[in-house]
Amino acid sequence: MNTPSSPLDRAASIPQLRRLLADDVLQPDEVRHMEKQIRGQLPWKLWLDRGLLSLAVALIVSGIGYFFAHNWTHLTDTDKLGLAGGAVLIAFLGSLYAGADHFVGKLLLLAASLLVGVFIAVFGQIYQTGADTYELFQAWALLILPWVALGRFVPLWLFWIGLLNLTVGFYWPVSLNRPFGIFGVLDSEACFRAETISLFVLNFIALAIREGSSRTVKVPWLDRHWSAWILLAATLTPATCETIFEILQTWNWSTSANPSSVFIHCVLALVLYAALIGGIFAYFFRIHPSLPALSMAVLGACCVLITLAARVFVFNGGPDMAGVLMLMAIVILLIFGGGVFLLREISRHLPSTE
């Protein structure tokens, strides 16, 4: 995006004019006149038109929902399935009619994908399949996969990734009761570990696909900056949580059943997390320059470092709370200050930022 060189050539706003008035740069009469001109060009008719339409659609859809809620107990199972399935079909046909290349068509495809979930929920309610929650999300993701592949719509693709995340997230707690799960019987700590690691791997793969597609194969519909940030956040969050978890596990490591295992897990997590942050820095500094992505990595690293510092300084039953709190404050200042300093230095050398 080209930024105008002079602030005088950027779009004016009323709050900006008020600040200039407060600085005595403009006079009240001048500001009044300029504001009148700005207000005259505000698209209030468009906002009113779209607002009335959105509100009307929401009210009518809610009314239809209330109608079905009133009659739900009087409907037969066939009617219920027919209605749910019919909604999916109507949305899908509407998408085909509008055209998959048009925004309205893509929105209708997204709506159809959402309604598939409603259909599965109704199906599960009627037939009491006894399926676990993760199986419902798994089925949902599988059923809409063709639409995701052919729809070429980033929000739909991210929604599908979200479904996979939910599938994985709901799988591991259930696996506690499954002696023949992938990794055998898991205790709660191993379950948490498995969840965070699998979520990290899943979202990392999605991020890699996104970055690889937009860079090498040049898939234009995937090339949306914000999708990279969302996937990076989804990758960093479980990795950060897992690393913090391993650090916190060492709090009572001397009294745990397997102290060496606890220590090894912590060191391994820290090493791998450092490698991840280093990789993110290398990629988003050299290959795909992005200050927001680097900022996310710095924030995650700061959280881990602070947890590590707290673990090191706050011993079990530490006697001197005042001293510890002061020390933690200094450490936080150093860590966050260092992170911001690093980002500011990087921003000066970034080829181009988003």
Partner 1 sequence: MPTIRQLLSQSEIIPDPTPERLQQIEAALKDDSQSDMPWYLRLIVAVGAWFACLFIIGSFLALMGFHDDNRSGYAIFGGILLIGATVLANARLGVFMEQCCLAAGLAGQGLLYAGLLPDHDPLGNATLISVVLAAALYLIYPDFLMRMITSLIAIQLTLEWVLHWRGYDPAASLFFSQSAPEIPIWIPALVAVCYIVRVVVMAGCFVPVIRQSANLAPLGYALVLSLAAWPLLGLFGFAMHSGPIFDGILYPHHYPVWLNYINPVFTAVSILALATWAAGGTGAWKIHAIPFAGLAGVLAVIIWTGASTILLPVLLIMLGFFTQRRVILGFGLILLPIFLSFYYYNLSLDLLAKSATLIVSGLALLLLRSLLRRGEIAEQPTL
The residues in 264-323 that bind partner 1, with binding defined as CB under 8 A, are 291-292, 295-296, 298-299, 302, 306, 321-323
Site for partner 1 in 42-61 (CB under 8 A): 42-49, 52-53, 55-60
Selected from 1, 2, 37, 276, the binder of partner 1 by CB under 8 A is: 37
Residue environment code for 174-193, b if the CB has 16+ CB neighbours within 10 A, otherwise e: ebeeeeebeeeebeeeebbb
Nearest one of 347, 313, 354 to 330, comparing CA atoms: 313
Classify the phi-psi angles of 278: left when phi > 0, otherwise alpha if psi is within -120 to 50, otherwise beta: alpha
Does residue 78 interact with partner 1 by CB under 8 A? Answer: no
Does 73 participate in binding partner 1 (rule CB under 8 A)?
no
Q: Annotate each residue in 323-352 with x if it binds partner 1 (CB under 8 A) or - if it does not, as one string.
A: x-xx-xxx-xx-xxx-xx--xx--------
Give me the least distance between CB of 279 and partner 1, in Å please: 20
Instruction: Identify which of residues 164 and 309 has a Cβ nearer to partner 1 in the complex.
Output: 309
Residues 10 to 29 in contact with partner 1, rule: CB under 8 A: 10-16, 18-29
Based on the shown chain and the rule CB under 8 A, indicate whether residue 104 belongs to the binding site for partner 1.
no
Rounded-to-integer distance, Cα 11 and Cα 79, Å: 55
Give the number of other CB atoms < 10 A from CB of residue 138.
19
Q: Which is nearer to partner 1, 262 or 346 (CB)?
A: 346
**What is the closest distance, in whole angstroms, from the C-beta atom of residue 148 to partner 1 in the complex?**
28
Decide: 230 and 206 in contact? Cβ < 8 Å.
no
Minimum Å gap between C-beta 57 and partner 1 is 7
CA dihedral of residues 46, 48, 54, 57 (deg, nearest 10): -120
CA distance 225 to 296: 14
Tell me, by CB under 8 A, how many residues bind partner 1: 85
